[in-house]
């Protein structure tokens, strides 16, 4: 399930994050790569643990906590501290799959990567290429969103970042461990939640059918959640 999240960050928030990270020192992106990814990955990354990384990451996490769409789609249990990368001059990240378990450097924090997320931080008109291509059941889907928008997708999918041939692509990326491990179960819950919210708009919170369907949603979540 691919879910686009428009306006996760406002224009002012994008500007604040960019002000933090643009002036910082960047390093080779392979500092967080596994053996397979290192063969395909050519980009730069903001080092973990620096003041710019911590403050910019906190801004992303704060935005996630305010997004009902993110919460409904991801049902997050743990979120890996956001990382930041950039591509220019033909850099790319070839087809790969994300590691099943991600461990934060220098800590015992680890998550099972159920979902991956990219938050775009550059105007798409400012660079050519750099599309995020995600392979799924119905073929490859190409994603290039406005600055501040995000895309949520299964970490188990094959995906790549196409070469950037003009300008610079800047983004945040990270992983989520969901309360509901199974992607199909998350889809059912997400679609049911959307239907319930539409019914609330038509019938109100106190309608008997709305109450019963809300109960079904929570009973399914209770059945499937690991939390």
The 10s digit of each residue's pLDDT in 157-199 is 999 999 999 999 999 999 999 999 999 999 999 999 999 999 9
pLDDT of the residue at 1 = 86
Q: Which residue has the higher pLDDT, 67 or 38?
A: 67
Measure the CA dihedral 91/7/203/215, to 10°. Answer: 50
Contact of 119 with 9, CB cutoff 8 Å:
yes
CATH 4.10.860 assigned to 183-224: yes
Please tell me the distance from the alpha carbon of residue 58 to that of residue 74, in angstroms, as a whole number. Answer: 18
β-pair partners for 172: 84, 119
Closest by alpha carbon to 155, among 188, 129, 186, 193?
A: 186
Residue ranges of the domains in the chain? 3-178, 183-224
Structure tokens at 88: 């220019």
List, for residues 40-60, the tens digit of each pLDDT value.
789 999 999 999 999 999 999
Closest by alpha carbon to 132, among 169, 168, 84?
A: 169
Structure tokens at 161: 């970042």
- Structure-token match 């997400």, residue found: 190
pLDDT of the residue at 34 = 55
Supply the DSSP symbol for 50.
Answer: S
Q: Coil, strand or helix: which one is 142?
A: strand
What lies within 8 Å, CB to CB, of 177 at 6+ separation is 76, 77, 78, 79, 111, 112, 113, 114
pTM (whole model) above 0.75: yes
Taking each helix axis from N to C terminus, what angle separates 51-65 and 11-22, rounded to the nearest 10 degrees? 160
Instruction: Quote the distance between the C-alpha of residue 207 and its chain's center.
Output: 35
Q: Which residue has the higher pLDDT, 39 or 125?
A: 125
- Per cent of the chain over pLDDT 90 is 89
Contact of 193 with 214, CB cutoff 8 Å:
no
Please tell me the distance from the alpha carbon of residue 45 to that of residue 85, in angstroms, as a whole number. Answer: 4
Asked if the model's pLDDT at residue 36 lies above 60, the reply is: no
Name the average pLDDT for the chain: 94
Average pLDDT over residues 116-129: 98
- Mean pLDDT check: name the lowest of 130-139, 153-162, 216-225: 130-139
Q: How confident is the model at residue 39 (pLDDT cuts 50, 70, 90)?
A: low
Contact of 225 with 185, CB cutoff 8 Å:
no
3-178, what's its fold? Jelly Rolls (2.60.120)
């Amino acid at each position: 399930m691919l879910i686009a999240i428009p306006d996760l960050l406002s224009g002012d928030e994008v500007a604040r994050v960019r002000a933090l990270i643009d002036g910082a020192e960047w390093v080779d992106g392979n500092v967080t790569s596994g053996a397979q990814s290192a063969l395909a990955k050519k980009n730069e990354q903001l080092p973990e643990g620096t003041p710019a990384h911590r403050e910019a990451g906190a801004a992303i996490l704060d935005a996630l906590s305010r997004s009902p769409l993110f919460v409904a789609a991801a049902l997050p249990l743990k979120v890996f501290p956001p990382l930041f990368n950039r591509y220019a001059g033909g850099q790319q990240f070839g087809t790969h799959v994300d590691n099943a378990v991600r461990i934060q450097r220098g800590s015992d924090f680890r998550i099972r990567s159920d979902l991956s997320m990219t938050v775009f931080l550059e105007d798409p008109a400012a660079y050519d290429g750099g599309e995020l291509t995600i392979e799924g059941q119905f073929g490859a889907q190409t994603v290039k969103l406005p600055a501040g928008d995000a895309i949520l997708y299964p970490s188990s999918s094959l995906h790549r970042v196409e070469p950037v041939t003009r300008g610079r692509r800047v983004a945040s990326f990270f992983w989520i461990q969901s309360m509901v491990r199974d992607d199909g179960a998350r889809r059912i819950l997400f679609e049911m939640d959307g239907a319930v919210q539409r019914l609330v708009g038509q019938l109100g919170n106190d309608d008997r059918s709305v109450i019963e369907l809300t109960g079904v949603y929570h009973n399914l979540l209770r059945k499937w959640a690991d939390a």
